[in-house]
Structure 1
Amino acid sequence: MRRWLPSVGLLGQVVAILLLTMLIEFGVSTMLYERASEFSVRDDEARRLAEHLVISRRLLEDRPPAERPALAHELTTDRYEVQWDGAAGVPPAVEPALDPMRRQIVDWEPTLRTGDLRLRLISPGRSSKVRGALRLRDDTWLHFRTLDAVARLDFAFERILLGLVPAVALMVLGGLMLRRALHPLRRLAEAADRVGHDEVGAVPEGGPREVRRLVGAFNRMQARIGALIEARTQSLAAVGHDLRTPLARLRLRTETIASADTREAIGQDISEMEAMIASLLAFLSGDNDPEKSSALDLAVLCATLVDDATDRGHEARYVGPDHLELRLRRLAMKRALTNLVDNALKYGASAVVELAPGDGVVTIRVLDTGPGIPDEQLAHVLEPFVRLDPARGRDTIGFGLGLPIAVQAIKAEGGTLTLANRPEGGLVATIVLPITQLAAGHKT
């Protein structure tokens, strides 16, 4: 049970537990009922046998020995066979297993106490038949045997199945009621799954008391998280502004430096600091990006990035349709693709951007001809603040957040980013976006 219960929902587990409990209760009740019926059958059989023995003994004792065999034959019924034996000899003693039945018989007919009533089983088992003997006044014996089983424990499966009908109906009704009671939990699970992807409002509180408490706790937790993110966003905006202001003053003051080499070196340091601040703020604000999704021609964006690269003197090429509209966060997606293209140009002699709509997904591939990345480091390089100096060279600008920023932006769109080494050399970065992000209409 421990193996399959975790894979079943809460509703299924509750219904299974209730069903098992009802089946056990029904089975035990049925066994007790059948056992009680067995004792009732034995008691009824003892009463009938007692009455038949009293009548048979009285009639046989009143007849001469010559007429007793024929009379015994007439006293035989479809339930009891009666015989008279005038020969001498004592039948076997009472079998201990039938002592309770013998007591029942003599309790019904006390006159049989003087008849030395003896009982034995013919075929021991559940469906047993009984034979016996009763002494008459002239010391002859009246022999008898039952033609039907007197002790049976018969489970009536038709009765069991009929009794299960209301149990199943009650289980269905109980399952529907439980489903309704657990509906708030489903709403809570859906809301929790949307946290971090979509704007989630307060979940309506309903259902049993414990469920209402859980939903209320989730709403309060969500409010606290929202407040923390808002505070962090405001802090980042303030930090970005405060850092950029002195950097701008420094850039202006470099213009007063007479030495061109010194002025250029200080300008490069300032540019590096600005790039580091921009990448850090972009990464830290990614979880709470206020930008909304809008229609974006992804093909035009990819082609534009390639044109910008060629204008800067790099070798770059775009392969794909002329137009492909999706609903995406424009700035975040542009930042992600720019980082991938810049990495390809930085570590390789050229870059190729391929865009291909497919079955249910849209795939973007950015290929370079650089040295690649060791296979064991392909997943590690997507983590923040990771540099791979031996494989990719020293990145002198930024904190190593280019790829993590791209991962963050693509994940926000429900997509994935993976890296792989090309057999012919170089690296390929593959973005897969779900086709559900397609705009209402697009051109290829």
Structure 2
Amino acid sequence: MPRLSLPAGMAGRIVLILVAAVTAEFIGNSLINLWQEKELLSAERTRRIAGQIVVAERVVADVRAERRARVAGDLSLDGLVLNWVPATVIADSSAAHTRLRQVKQRLVGMAPALAGRDIRLVLIASATSGKRDLIGALRLADGSFVTFRVTPFLNAPPSFALVLALHLLLIAAVLGMGLLLVRALVRPLRTLAALADATGQGSQPTVVIEGPREVRRVAIAFAAMQARLLNIMAEHTQALVAVSHDLRTPIQRLRLRAALLADSEARDAIDRDLAELEKFVGSIVSFMRGDGAEAARLVDVAAIAMTAVDDAADAGAAITYHGPDALPAILRPLALKRALANIVDNAVEHAATVRVRLSADATAILLVVEDDGPGIPPARRDEVLLPFRRLEQARRHDSGGAGLGLAIASKAVSTLSGTLLLGESALGGLSVTLRLPRQGEATAK
């Protein structure tokens, strides 16, 4: 059996969705109309009625006018009432009513003697059951009429509220089907957007070529661009890391030579400069390498935060921790450690007092590092998240930094699908807030 294939282009698929929606709407409306006009006459009953009308015509034509009405009435059957009238006000509605037109065609088909005759059909509501009766009249050769009434012919019409509810339900179903088809149509675009966001975040996602022709062309171009960009990034990273690594050897040689100097002040000054240079090189290497494709796993966020605080305190910083003793979550531990370490180091460098607060709710983990330093002006907070940016009014010239501390933290937080916000600290300095999505709580418990 040949397999049906979708149109190759986006426009063709959109047209297909529109055609499918219109077709579904048409079929649904037709079914509702058929249900509203459900006929109660079986084929056998229609055949008996057609035969009885022919018989009534012949019998009535053979008797005098004053007896015709009684003779026609005697020929009535269960559900079929016959009568004779010299004239009638019944008008034919079959031309405007599909159901009546079908009934007339069946009557003629089952009784060929009625072919070409003046048969008038109309619907009338029953006074007792609420259903609809079929009223008809057959014109005789002398201009009089044999009339008949079929009770009941159609079901009682449904209420307006029910019909409205059915139509609304049909519209909802068609819209739902259309939305599902549109969702399937744009799914390759959403996938491509997700791949674009993931590119350069420590992984190299594979681009899947699928969808309409236009989307496939975009995906192919994106895959080629992704490969070029990743190659350029890898080459630049390797070059900078190699240069930074090569600088460590002359730094160590200079440190050894400085140790041989007799002048202690000059020796100490050179040691400070070399330490600043070594810290600068270390920051560049840390920023360029990032955390790689680290896998998320179950870790204790509180333990990581307390370890960072203890390390800073051991180095002589006035830093405190406020938060729970344990907070399990599934995330990338190296990325969190790198982010927190750089934020704490930045705070310790420029403030006398630092406070680390940890809290969590049902959806997120909040890590807040506050200090009493000079802070950062609101207009320049976005700027300090960029690499190699230093605000001299907020930093000491001898801090040894490369302007990468907060940039490294921001980059690490992005790999955790979190956000990093800078604000005013309650201590009077800078407040750095890490908001991380909470995952794996049930597993952790």
- TM-score, normalised to structure 1, is 0.58
Amino acid at match of 2:311: L
Task: Report the counterpart of residue 3 of structure 1 in structure 2.
Answer: none
Contact 1:120 1:132 in 2 (8 A): no
- Relative distance call for 1:376 and 1:153 in structure 2 (3 A) is farther
| Shift of residue 83, structure 1, vs aligned partner | 3.4
Task: Report the counterpart of residue 348 of structure 2 in structure 1.
Answer: 345
For residues 217 and 302 of structure 1, what CA distance do their matches in structure 2 show?
A: 44
Structure 2 regions of 5+ residues with no counterpart? 1-15, 96-100, 126-131, 160-165, 167-172
Amino acid at match of 2:352: A
Task: Report the counterpart of residue 282 of structure 1 in structure 2.
Answer: 286
| Shift of residue 333, structure 1, vs aligned partner | 4.8
- Relative distance call for 1:365 and 1:305 in structure 2 (3 A) is farther
**Which structure is larger by alpha-carbon Rg, 1 or 2?**
1
For residues 154 and 240 of structure 1, what CA distance do their matches in structure 2 show?
A: 89
What is the correspondence of 1:104-253 to structure 2 with a 5 Å cutoff? 108-109=112-113, 129-131=135-137, 133-136=139-142, 142-148=144-150, 231-252=235-256
Contact 1:80 1:144 in 2 (8 A): no
Task: Report the counterpart of residue 10 of structure 1 in structure 2.
Answer: none
For residues 264 and 316 of structure 1, what CA distance do their matches in structure 2 show?
A: 28
| Shift of residue 57, structure 1, vs aligned partner | 3.8
Task: Report the counterpart of residue 74 of structure 2 in structure 1.
Answer: 74
| Shift of residue 402, structure 1, vs aligned partner | 0.6
Task: Report the counterpart of residue 386 of structure 1 in structure 2.
Answer: 389
Contact 2:355 2:370 in 1 (8 A): yes
Task: Report the counterpart of residue 307 of structure 2 in structure 1.
Answer: 301
- Relative distance call for 1:264 and 1:406 in structure 2 (3 A) is same
Contact 1:362 1:433 in 2 (8 A): yes
Identity of aligned residues (%): 30
Amino acid at match of 1:428: S
For residues 24 and 115 of structure 2, what CA distance do their matches in structure 1 show?
A: 49
- Relative distance call for 1:202 and 1:30 in structure 2 (3 A) is same
Task: Report the counterpart of residue 418 of structure 1 in structure 2.
Answer: 421
For residues 32 and 329 of structure 2, what CA distance do their matches in structure 1 show?
A: 65
Contact 1:299 1:324 in 2 (8 A): no
Contact 2:299 2:330 in 1 (8 A): yes
Contact 2:60 2:68 in 1 (8 A): no
1:158-207 per-residue CA deviation (whole Å, 9 max, x = no partner) reads xxx9xxxxxx9xx99xx9xxx9xxx9999999999987778789799999
Residue 55, structure 1, aligned to residue 61, structure 2: no
Structure 1 regions of 5+ residues with no counterpart? 1-13, 86-90, 162-167
Contact 1:233 1:288 in 2 (8 A): no
For residues 387 and 72 of structure 1, what CA distance do their matches in structure 2 show?
A: 110
Contact 1:362 1:435 in 2 (8 A): yes
Q: How many residues align?
A: 388
Root mean square deviation of aligned Cα? 6.3
Contact 1:302 1:318 in 2 (8 A): no
Contact 1:294 1:327 in 2 (8 A): yes
| DSSP 3-state at the match of 1:316 | strand
For residues 378 and 258 of structure 2, what CA distance do their matches in structure 1 show?
A: 45
- Relative distance call for 1:224 and 1:17 in structure 2 (3 A) is farther
For residues 119 and 306 of structure 2, what CA distance do their matches in structure 1 show?
A: 108
Contact 1:94 1:118 in 2 (8 A): no
Amino acid at match of 1:350: T
Amino acid at match of 2:387: P
| Shift of residue 122, structure 1, vs aligned partner | 9.1
Contact 1:81 1:147 in 2 (8 A): yes
Amino acid at match of 1:82: N
Contact 2:320 2:355 in 1 (8 A): yes
1:215-261 per-residue CA deviation (whole Å, 9 max, x = no partner) reads 99999998887766655554343222222233444445556778766
Amino acid at match of 2:286: A
For residues 27 and 236 of structure 2, what CA distance do their matches in structure 1 show?
A: 59
For residues 432 and 242 of structure 1, what CA distance do their matches in structure 2 show?
A: 37
